[in-house]
Structure formats: C-alpha cells, structure tokens
Homo-oligomer: A and B are copies of this chain.
Amino acid sequence: MKHLIAIDWGTSSLRGALLAGDGTVLEEVSAPAGILVVPAGGFAGVFAQHFGRWQQATGALALIAGMAGSKQGWQEAPYCACPAGFADIASRLHWIEPARIALVPGLSCEDHGVPDVMRGEETQVFGALALLGLADARMVLPGTHSKWVQVAQGRIVGFRTFMTGELYALLRQHSILARTLPQEDGQLDADAFRRGLAHARASASLLHAAFSVRTLALFDRLPASAMPSYLSGLVIGDELRAQALDDSRGPVVVVGAPALAARYRLALEALGIAAATVGAQASWSGLFAIARHLEQSP
C-alpha cells in the first residue's frame, strides 16, 4: 500500500498523521484549527496549510474523520444508520477530490424514538477493534461528549452520548460551584475522585449529586484543592451509573487520551470491571483500515 494521510478533524482541534504503507506513523501534526475556527470556504486552505506538503511529497490519499464531515464542516458526509459495520463506512466515503481527499461518514442510531449521532468515534471504534483483534465489545470514548458503544460481530449496533466533559466544564466555570473550586484543576486526587464516584452511584441524578460540592465545602469536609477531582468523579460516576454496567460481561474498552482514560480505568475498577485501553492511534488504525479496504475493492 502507498502512504496515507490520516486526519481527525474535530470541533476544536485538527490532528493528522502521515502513515507509511505498513501503517507506521512517520510524522504527526496537530493544531487548534477545529471546524469552529475555520471560516466559511476556508477548509481547502487549512487543509493545504497543514497537509499540502505531505500530499505533494507522497501523492498520498487523505482520509478525514470527524466533524469536518458535518453540516458545519467542509462538506456534509451523510450519517450511516446503525447497525453499521466497517464496510458500511468504508464504502460510503464522501469524496471532496476523487482519489485524493475523502470524508468518513459519521453514524446515527435511534433509541426510544430519539436519534443519537457520532462523527469520528466510529473510525476510532473500528481502529480499536482492529488493534485488539475483537469483533464484540463494549467501548467508551470519553471526552466533551462521551460515547458508549456496543459492538456485536464487528458491527456497531448502538451507542449513547453523554455530555460529561461539557457538563464538567460548565459546572466548573459557570455554576455556583465555581466559587468553591480552585482556579486550576491540579493533579488527580484519586481518593477525592473515588469519593465523587461513590456519591454519584448513591445519588440517582447529577442534579442532586453536584450540590454536594457546595455542601462538603460549606462544612469543611473536603479541601478546595480536592474539589476538581471530586467533581470529576461525580460526572464520570453519573455516566457509569446510567450505563448500569454488568461486571460479568468482560472488560470495557476505553479509547482516548491517557489522562482521561486513566480516570475511566479507575472508575471501572471501583465497580470491579476490567478495562482495556487504546490511545489516539485508534483513529490512525481505523483510517488505515479504510484505505486498505479501498485498495482491495474493485
């Protein structure tokens, strides 16, 4: 296989990697050039600025996953409906320039008559499955909007979004709790984090659990420096409570950046559930698999 330019173009950031024919990462770039800061009509220019050099040097195909394929992105790559397997997304690329630049479609699913969507995570899921050699899995992709994904026989059968990272930031910065929290998050205080997890599990709603940040401060039961870790435990704990995880169903695959993945690993451990972790290379692995699929398709 030839080189591949693998790109994850999200809401707030742009990451790319030049991959060799065997999938080895030769070079990586990242920039705060998420789709929200790209002016209308500016996507081709931002692409050229960051990846033109690689494309000129290697003539490689560029595959782009993430919000760049949304209505607010470069062009819209319509969602594939779940259940959706690897071949579904690989065969429904949205070509910006034939054989040169393509957008990977996101996925949609339906739960109780309400739709859910992802863009970019589908590529990470298939990449993680390839890296781990799995066909069945339950996965979490933590972040601003965490995704819990159910995979059966190589197909994504359903998923649920949790606004966990965003709610953490809102409570941290804009709520009455902000008065109780120090300016900086500081290092993770694992005990405070676990205490937050436990309180979220005992509460039935974050609306209630979150108020404990205020009352524990009021009664001097937790130092201010431990509060960000405690609040992090509350929001992640609420997400896990809602998943009602069954510990007999094997490990949960956590796909994400190391610091956040470590928190989810701690949270799962507290429930007696093992975790397997896959990092950012899941995106590159997923895009590489799509490129190989294209080469092998007639």
Contact = CB atoms under 8 A, between A and B. Distances in A.
Interface of A: 71, 108, 112, 114-117, 145-146, 160-164, 166-167, 170-171, 174-176, 199, 202-208, 210-212, 215-216, 218-219, 221, 235, 238-239, 241-244
Given A170-B174, A205-B205, A206-B207, A115 B221 contact: yes
For the complex of A and B, list the 7 residue pairs with the smallest distance between their C-beta atoms, beginning with the closest: A205-B242, A204-B242, A162-B207, A115-B215, A161-B211, A112-B202, A114-B212
Given A206-B205, A207-B239, A208-B161, A216 B114 contact: yes
Given A115-B221, A170-B174, A241 B204 contact: yes
Nearest to A243: B204
A116 B242 contact: no
Contacts of A146: 207
Contacts of A114: 199, 212, 215-216
Contacts of A170: 170-171, 174-175
Copies of this chain, count: 2
Given A166-B176, A170-B175, A176-B166, A145 B211 contact: yes
A266 B87 CA distance: 47
Contacts of A167: 175, 207, 210
Contact of A238 (B205, B215, B244): B205
B242 A208 contact: yes
A241 B204 CA distance: 8
A163 B215 contact: no
Contacts of A108: 219
Contacts of A171: 170
Contacts of A238: 205, 207
Contacts of A205: 162, 205-206, 238-239, 241-242
